[in-house]
Amino acid sequence: MNDENEARKFYSLDSQKVMLKHMASKLSDQELRELWARAEAERSAEIENYEKERNQYYDKREKTLADCEDMAFKTKNPEKCSNAAVVPIGWLLGPTVNSQQDIFNGYVLGGCNWVGVKKAQEIGCFPKGYIPTFVTLEELEASKLTQ
């Protein structure tokens, strides 16, 4: 492991669960339901925006490909015609949108997931006396796979 990765530590999955449960305990059931609905709306809006952008891209691409069937246009605009023939992989793979659960967790946690231990303890991200554990990114990803 190189020095750069060694310095990058993340809250372990268990510590993240403790933090989420603790922060959720500070909210009412109704607040949690509202955050869940807000997460669903945000996710839907992101998917809708992706689809709008994708449709605009394909509409523009179709027009360019039609223009490129004209030899005069194609001769004067070779880059435009060759670029239109290639579809960026992002459009082929579909939207990369966070799950509703991940968006919801972000709302519940607020800034807690992105601050150091001292600051997290100062702002009450963990139960009093709890000492979080840390892992590397690789360890965190591996622990998510076994859940």
Query: What would the two tokens of residue 134 be?
Result: 């840390």
Contacts of 54 (CB under 8 A, 6+ apart): 91
Place of tokens 């009093």: 128
Place of tokens 């965190």: 140
Q: Per residue in 57-87, pLDDT tens? A: 999 999 999 999 999 999 999 999 988 888 8
**Closest to 40 in 3D by CA, of 126, 98, 110:** 98
pLDDT tens, per residue, the chain with 147 residues: 444 444 577 889 999 999 999 999 999 999 999 999 999 999 999 999 999 999 999 999 999 999 999 999 999 999 999 888 888 887 788 888 999 999 999 999 998 978 888 888 889 999 999 989 888 888 888 887 776
